[in-house]
Amino acid sequence: MAEPATNRTGYFGREFLDQLTQRIDGPAFLSRFLKVEKSGDRYRAVCPFHKDSKPSFYIRNDGSFYCFGCQKNGSVFNFLMEHNGDSFPDAVKEVAQFLGVPLPERRGGNELTEEQRALLDVLDKSASFFRQQLEQAGRDSTVKRYLQKRGIDRTAVARFQIGFAPNSWTGLKDHFSDTSEQLLIDADVLVNNTERNSIYDRYRNRLIFPIRNRQGNVVGFGGRVLDEDVEPKYLNTKQTKVFSKSRELYGMFEALQSARRPERLILVEGYMDVVALAQNGIPNAVAALGTASNDAHFQTMFWFTNEVVCCFDGDDAGRTAAKRALESALAALTDEKSVKFVFLPDGEDPDSFVRANGTKTFQDLIDNAQHVADYFVDTLLETNDRSFSSIEQKAKFVDRAKALIRGVKHDSFRAILAQEVARCFPDDVNMEQLLAPASPDQEPFVPPFDESHMDERQEPEPVVSQFGRSLENIKTKQRVSTLLCAPRIWGSLSIHRDLLRRLTNVAKDHPMTRVWSAIDRHRLTTVDGLIASFQDDKLFARDLNEIYDSSNAQAMEDPEETLQQFLDSVESFITTEEAEVERKTQRKRLSRARDDKEGT
Ligand SMILES: [Zn+2]
């Protein structure tokens, strides 16, 4: 087992590592490597470290894990080291990259460098400057008329903090006369033209869309021309020390303001599409910056949602964009993560479509998007004609299919695609052929969730803890389970400490006492935290885990009633126990009295 990450921080610094684990969505991150399923409030998977058929491998929000089968546990970094054979620095880098967090300088553990902080500051001020310019523009100005023409209203302007770069070479430059020119150039709001030996505003006479990262900081801008004759139509910030085009998505921050975990995200092509959809009641659209979406974009999207619908224009450019999106998406797909495709009628984009046809029609279109498996075949064939005229054509198709299928990381999804492709050739292409490894040293395909090849004897020996036996007492189990399943009442327990004290007096080692004491002592708020607090007593932790799992069905409707029920039940337990203690004391006293008597 690798050294736990708590003991090593390398040159990253504890603060930085904590930032990563606080920010990461552990279950989502690990679902890139495991088939993660939700069980109540928690996430689990079949353990990759021992042979098992049951999901005994639990994942916490910070990416740390614990297996009740083989007892393996550790941080998200330990997971990458154990599972992927990463070195510790590589594991940290991978997590940081996934989160889009820049690595710290070799010395000091701060998340952002001084330079990055300065860049963010200047970008923020630039965004304010652009916003101000838009506010100050007269009602009859080109920019205001443009907004009106495109139907962008005040709420959309406010939501996306849209601004305006004045038609001047030095508007922003003059505004920032006190700021270092180099900093403004590094932030890419000024251009240093060495040929002409002049420094001037990058964005001129353009509508400005600030691009915000997930923390809400402005990291760059997209600028759209107001005069259709000017090229390029869109101007984007180039790569800077705070902006990575291949990672950020326009509208992501805003979409997450509406829902922290949207049911789906809609990937569109342009800034205007994102804005128009939000304005029409569809707040979950995002756009890749520039033309192509890539693997990192899909990783980012799948971090927040399980479904991405790619909505592209029906023209050639849209088809090409969709094909790229498909290739990028393949690596990120699992049983839970799905990608669908929608093509709008020729000449339409989401912006024009939603305005012309309304929210409902657009939403219907998205609801009926084409599943990736269907689209996969259509794209490969690039025609609806599936009666291949030549052998070469067919061979070419199969080769391309094989190459794409190999790109799919997730086994069961790979099988789905192969099945879909094989269906096109009822006679002479079968699944084995499509799934055949590229080279002989690659592992043959084994369906991962077919349990028939599992050796049942490899199951870990069942061990019964002391508590496990006492579980036969149905009331004990019920009380513990009430407490376990209702973290919402934990906060209110502290005002009933007198009851806890009485409970401790009569039944210090009782499971219910132990659980309540732990909640009280560590001020716990989550079941994961609770179970983790018993890590020294693995069997007890396992029992709690099992109780929790088996009682998921009884969701707690009314916290107040649940609390009252629990307190009542504890009260009656204490009364019984106190009476028992009293009886024992009584008996002792009697027997002592008898002894005394006999002694005289
Ligand atoms: Zn295990």
Torsion (CA) 562, 563, 569, 575 in degrees, nearest 10: -170
Question: What's the pLDDT at 462?
Answer: 31
Q: How far is the CA of 65 from the centre of ligand 1 (A)?
A: 10
Question: What's the pLDDT at 375?
Answer: 81
Q: How far is the CA of 54 from the centre of ligand 1 (A)?
A: 10
Q: How far is the CA of 446 from the centre of ligand 1 (A)?
A: 20
Name which of 63, 68, 67, 91 is nearest 3 in CA terms: 91
Q: How far is the CA of 64 from the centre of ligand 1 (A)?
A: 14
Those residues with Cβ within 8 angstroms of residue 541's Cβ, 6 or more apart along the chain or in another chain: 66, 68, 531, 532, 534, 535
Q: How far is the CA of 2 from the centre of ligand 1 (A)?
A: 15
Per residue in 350-377, pLDDT (tens digit) is 999 999 999 999 999 999 998 888 888 7
Find residue 43's DSSP bridge partners: 38, 59
Q: How far is the CA of 52 from the centre of ligand 1 (A)?
A: 7
Q: How far is the CA of 268 from the centre of ligand 1 (A)?
A: 41
Q: What does each C-alpha distance from 207 to 133, 178, 272, 273, 352 come to in angstroms?
A: 10, 25, 11, 14, 18
Those residues with Cβ within 8 angstroms of residue 164's Cβ, 6 or more apart along the chain or in another chain: 130, 133, 134, 137, 143, 206, 207, 208
**Which pLDDT band holds residue 194 (cuts at 50, 70, 90)?**
confident
- Read off the pLDDT of each residue in 165-184 and give the average, rounded to a whole number: 94
Least confident among 149-158, 178-187, 269-278, 452-461: 452-461
Q: What percent of the chain has pLDDT over 90?
A: 30
Q: How far is the CA of 337 from the centre of ligand 1 (A)?
A: 24
Alpha-carbon span 39 to 463, nearest angstrom: 23
Q: How far is the CA of 459 from the centre of ligand 1 (A)?
A: 10
**Which pLDDT band holds residue 47 (cuts at 50, 70, 90)?**
very high
Whether the Cβ atoms of residue 164 and residue 133 lie closer than 8 Å to each other: yes
Q: How far is the CA of 71 from the centre of ligand 1 (A)?
A: 6
Q: How far is the CA of 43 from the centre of ligand 1 (A)?
A: 15
Q: How far is the CA of 339 from the centre of ligand 1 (A)?
A: 31
Those residues with Cβ within 8 angstroms of residue 66's Cβ, 6 or more apart along the chain or in another chain: 57, 58, 60, 72, 73, 531, 532, 535, 541
Whether the Cβ atoms of residue 133 and residue 174 lie closer than 8 Å to each other: no
**Which pLDDT band holds residue 402 (cuts at 50, 70, 90)?**
confident
pTM attached to this predicted model = 0.56
Q: How far is the CA of 70 from the centre of ligand 1 (A)?
A: 4
Q: How far is the CA of 72 from the centre of ligand 1 (A)?
A: 6
Q: How far is the CA of 51 from the centre of ligand 1 (A)?
A: 7
Question: What's the pLDDT at 452?
Answer: 29
Q: How far is the CA of 66 from the centre of ligand 1 (A)?
A: 8
Name which of 143, 98, 127 is nearest 211 in CA terms: 127
At 9, list the tokens: 């921080």
Q: How far is the CA of 336 from the centre of ligand 1 (A)?
A: 22
Q: Is 44 helix (H, G, I), strand (E, B) or coil?
A: strand
Q: What does each C-alpha distance from 98 to 24, 93, 289, 298, 368 come to in angstroms?
A: 9, 8, 18, 11, 31
Element of type H or E holding 67: strand 65-67
At 441, list the tokens: 């040293």
Q: How far is the CA of 160 from the centre of ligand 1 (A)?
A: 46
Superfamily of domain 114-236: DNA primase, catalytic core, N-terminal domain (3.90.980.10)
Chain center to CA of 250: 17
Which phi and psi angles does 210 have, rounded to 5°? -65, 140
Alpha-carbon span 22 to 119, nearest angstrom: 24
Q: How far is the CA of 170 from the centre of ligand 1 (A)?
A: 63
Judge: domain 252-378, CATH 3.40.640.10: no
Alpha-carbon span 116 to 108, nearest angstrom: 14
Q: How far is the CA of 538 from the centre of ligand 1 (A)?
A: 13
Alpha-carbon span 89 to 77, nearest angstrom: 9
Q: Do domains 114-236 and 252-378 have the same CATH topology?
A: no
Q: How far is the CA of 191 from the centre of ligand 1 (A)?
A: 56
Per residue in 450-505, pLDDT (tens digit) is 222 232 223 233 333 334 334 445 667 777 877 887 777 887 787 788 888 888 88
Alpha-carbon span 139 to 144, nearest angstrom: 6
Angle between helices 76-84 and 88-99 (to 10 degrees): 120
Q: In the predicted model, is pLDDT for residue 528 greater than 70?
A: yes
- Read off the pLDDT of each residue in 144-170 and give the average, rounded to a whole number: 94
Q: What is the DSSP letter of 245?
A: T
Alpha-carbon span 120 to 103, nearest angstrom: 16
Which phi and psi angles does 145 have, rounded to 5°? -65, -35
More confident call, 585 vs 59:
59
Q: How far is the CA of 279 from the centre of ligand 1 (A)?
A: 48
Q: Where are the domains of the chain?
A: 14-108, 114-236, 252-378, 381-435, 466-580
Alpha-carbon span 468 to 476, nearest angstrom: 11
Q: How far is the CA of 501 from the centre of ligand 1 (A)?
A: 38
Strands 57-59 and 42-45: antiparallel
Strands 198-201 and 206-212: unpaired
Q: How far is the CA of 39 from the centre of ligand 1 (A)?
A: 17
Find residue 341's DSSP bridge partners: 310, 370
Q: How far is the CA of 166 from the centre of ligand 1 (A)?
A: 61
Per residue in 278-337, pLDDT (tens digit) is 999 999 999 987 656 777 788 788 878 889 999 988 888 888 888 888 878 887 777 677
**Which pLDDT band holds residue 551 (cuts at 50, 70, 90)?**
low
> Within a 10 A sphere around the Cβ of 580, how many other Cβ atoms?
12
3-state helix, strand, coil split of the chain in percent (to 5) is: 50, 10, 35
Q: How far is the CA of 460 from the centre of ligand 1 (A)?
A: 9
> Within a 10 A sphere around the Cβ of 485, how many other Cβ atoms?
21
Q: How far is the CA of 63 from the centre of ligand 1 (A)?
A: 16
Those residues with Cβ within 8 angstroms of residue 572's Cβ, 6 or more apart along the chain or in another chain: none
- Architecture in CATH for domain 14-108: Alpha-Beta Complex (3.90)
Q: How far is the CA of 276 from the centre of ligand 1 (A)?
A: 48
Name which of 76, 91, 84, 93 is nearest 30 in CA terms: 76
Q: How far is the CA of 58 from the centre of ligand 1 (A)?
A: 10
Q: How far is the CA of 45 from the centre of ligand 1 (A)?
A: 10
Q: How far is the CA of 333 from the centre of ligand 1 (A)?
A: 24
Q: What region, left, alpha or beta, does residue 460 occupy, with left being phi > 0 and alpha being psi -120 to 50 degrees?
A: beta
Whether the Cβ atoms of residue 333 and residue 339 lie closer than 8 Å to each other: yes
